[in-house]
Structure 1
């Protein structure tokens, strides 16, 4: 049974122990580990924990089946970054990276055998990277209270630095011996008794005796007579005075040969380091030696100058990566003064942190394989920014040993190349192709052309100089719908529209002459549609290679743009004509008003004989025609004053059927087809009658030999934004006038609603009929559509918005009002003297008493002076105050005073719906009716 010691938690480790690990062990939650709470630990474990926490030697205890780890402060330093997480964790999990190395040792000690090692090496991870580590340790099994192995106790010491130091020493000694053996002069090491300790290879080459006859014997013994010679005296002096000596002397060997030797002796701790060389031929070779030395210095200077002149960073390192040389570019770029360093230090200090590990890995791999070292990484400049460099190093091997003696390398700035890598890829590909054989170039270009040929969305073809397809790419199927077999062997003009044949033939004939034609032509798609294609071609041998791009959408966009520009010009022209029309109508109406009024008065009074009355009738008809012309102009310009309201279209058309039939003549059959449930349309009834009559007259003139004139109406809705009449979405009454006449071609149809455009010939029409109807429909918020074909008749659809109001059922009276009824005093206001005079005559004939005023201001003064009229008849637009201003003033001053506004101008803006209006020119009957309606609607 295990030994259990019950004691307080604080007694497990000495309370007096103030070490960091003692505190950590006391504070650790051991209940979560296999060891359980500390007050239940065995005495042996408690004792060991007390021992290790009080020791400065790295120690740890691994206890239990999981080998739970408990260690001291000194061992925490070995754990490095694994501490403090390693406390209380299984030993083999903490050192998971060396589990396979530790497991046999752990199993052996857990079997009860102590294990001790003076040097064991591991590759461990404890500072974020793998590193070599060496340890000397002893593992001692510890038994628990039941006599079993409860765990083991380890005392260890990391000897990595000593091992590496000894290794470096051995390497240094090896390198030293290698250096000595590689020297061109003889070398020997004498101890303080002048015994020979070592000779290098050059010394043995001078000697003919074996090495065992030399080493360990004194210099005087090996070289008899030398002790008392000049060289012997100098050697003793150097040994005793501990100062270097140099001497050229002649020595005779035992075989009788004599040589001049240059000997140098240097005091060293062991004794003397002696160098000598045969300089017998020195005097003869002195000039050559000087030349060689000068050449060497010059070569070194040239190398340094060349290296400094190279725009890249040039470097040399030893096999382990310690730097031996940097050219001037290194200091210029980094700002660092050259000093010996290592590859790891350079990576840590100058290479971008994200690239450092990859750089070292690449260098270590090159060292291991002996191959070329190459990597791309970023180096920090003296300004603090980073640029990309391509680093390449090649190994130089010792010719004798084959071992890597140095690394020669260069770091090339490739920052701009990397930034422009995408743009330069094609160029690099071409440069690589230049370095390949002609066969490789042709193959690559052929492959590239084939890929482009297969994947390009543009049309590509090979055509001979006769215009016959030899090869086409798959884009032809996608763009024009033809499979390759439907094209190859066929002439190009079988697929080009006839109008473009000549230009297409000229293009491939131009290519046959060595030219590179450019061409835009139209191809017929397999489905019958047209496609515009822009071509670029170049001859090659007896064939032409061409690439075509489908520009149909671009052409369509250009066509739409041209159409929009044409519509804009037409709109501007119509607006200008409309503004001109409005002004002309005003003046023309003012001229017609006294003419019609005078002729009307003369006609009513029966003045003159029969001939004079015919002349007056003719003049009055001409004036009425002029009035209608002005109304058409105003309707075209959308400036005709309208009084829109709900109109019963069926009743209006039915009432006009007789007039339309009589106007159309006996050779034209008139049919009216109107449903009973037609909703009311929003329109001006008088203007709609005029529009319908105009359409009927146009239909009659289109059927000189007679025909059928159909008038129909239907309720229709516009639900899509695209409509021929550009109508707003909503519900409409569509009034249709259809004839079986000559019809119109597309050119005539395009100009049908232009003002003053007519196909009836000179003197047979004004060209304003359809323009007036179009203007009226637009003014009402509707539209006009025309469909026609030569010989198939014409249909005109007048779209009128559906009215929300109820139809006025009393109907319209066309009977003239009584003209002989005295009804009171009228204040007549007009700035045109002739118009005012003719209107005054009409009012006088109607029985009114007249008071005239030339302006609104004059009329207001009359009222202010006490004048009280029964009615006011005033012009609309006058200099100063308008008729609307005058009406508002009278309403405020004299409520209930009837005011009638007359105007010959197109615009009636600002006239309130409640103010009575009358358009110029007018007859006495129209004036009488307007006044009668005004009086009847005014309060008594």
Structure 2
């Protein structure tokens, strides 16, 4: 058959029209195409070359015809689809579409949007969604001779919409887990799209969603918050503040919040909303105010009679605890603001249209990971708040190790084998059993991470007659119980061995560890009268050996020795001149104020370089140098050594919150005041240092 013989009404269909013409219609009731009704011919001539996917089924047995735009919907049905009975071609979905076909044959049209159909595709059932119409096909007399359909495969859009909905739900779930308050605002009126439970806890139950900030919080009209939001929306510049006051309706007292406003942008970079996050820090601000009040009356308190002095000293100790908690919570709140910035930016990026799924998952993981880091920070804060003095007792190390081994088996995972070695005899130690368990868990977790979750963990217990020489200290005779924890992991490079016990030092990825685990083990061992040794070969593994003082079978638990009662500051010898070296503005102002209240004259240098410059100019104007240890650049110990070398008669008193290791190392030879310190302790140390000042200083 030649192309010229194709009827004109099929010619627009090209190759498909030719295929329709070539099909053997002799066995059907509809006959050859030249004899088909005018309505059928006109319909085919109209839509065979249409870009809209269309099909028809006509005749007593509903023989199927389609255009090229419809062909992709057929898949492997396309071969042999021309002229096939409609019910046979779509037998897998016929129970679902037969009523719709029947309605069309009765002369009634139908339209469906995103109708779900489970059909065979590529040889397997697949969930699909379709938008289509079924319309009756009438001949020139108005009789229904078949049906015509326009179709759109909506599967990809439905799946994408469902994934987007699920992803939004995951995002909201992640924000819901935030320990701080979170809200999402949209538009210049700052309409609430979302608030988490922490936000409702602070603000109270209000009609948030769909309403603007001015409607929800009318009491903020004179507090500057409307203006801040307007400025962030107009400029696109984020805003953050710490300890900002806020007065809320229904609350008798003023609150204080750490606050972040971060703009949310669309694909074109235009600001479309604002991310709001923060924390209620009212307890911290109250504690700081209480501390300032105590410090203002401190000098009067220490001049009272001895009974009143004891009460004042107790109040001071409590105030120092409050100060430590206040500083710690301030640092954590600062870190939380950083975490909120990560979350806010990720939310902003995820709101962009057409964002690739891989990047969207990356940003979602960033939010989840940040939530986990925030949760760990909160746990650390609670741990510091509940920290107790050591409670030494006599316990069987072997039994304790066996108990801890059962505890950590689920923690290290089934791919890590734990073996306990040593004789079965009891090994009694005199130490804090709870802290010993924590130390073992920290060592086991470090070993698991070093082995990447797979390997062998050996714990050996034995009695030894001496501590080995460690970190420059000579061997020390005595009876000790040695607990060795050996792994088959990656090992520790030689240049990192001196750093592993430093607080906050870690080689793990961000969010995988705080760097406090080995510091806890080290501090516990030394405070208990023992020590810890480490041996490592890169690529083969590491062995940590914890030494604890051995106890006899008849020994009883040791109680902590009570600290000596504080005494009042000694009378001031003379109006000494003190050079204060402190890089922290708050601490520097406080230190100089306290020293001035004690009668000293002070000069404040913000770092070691500034202090050396002042001493080079005129060292005789100062009677003593009072310096922090932890400072950027040259630290306090290095500064003290430089002063000792250049001006050996000038006394130096150091102060540090990380002073236990420093105090134990007598090679420095400097007086040390441990933070937080009392005024009485500071006065005694400084006056003693001035009394002992070498001639010629």
User: Which TM-score applies when normalising by structure 1?
Assistant: 0.30
Higher RCO (CA-CA < 8 Å; seq separation 6+): 2
Instruction: Tell me which structure has the larger Cα radius of gyration.
Output: 1
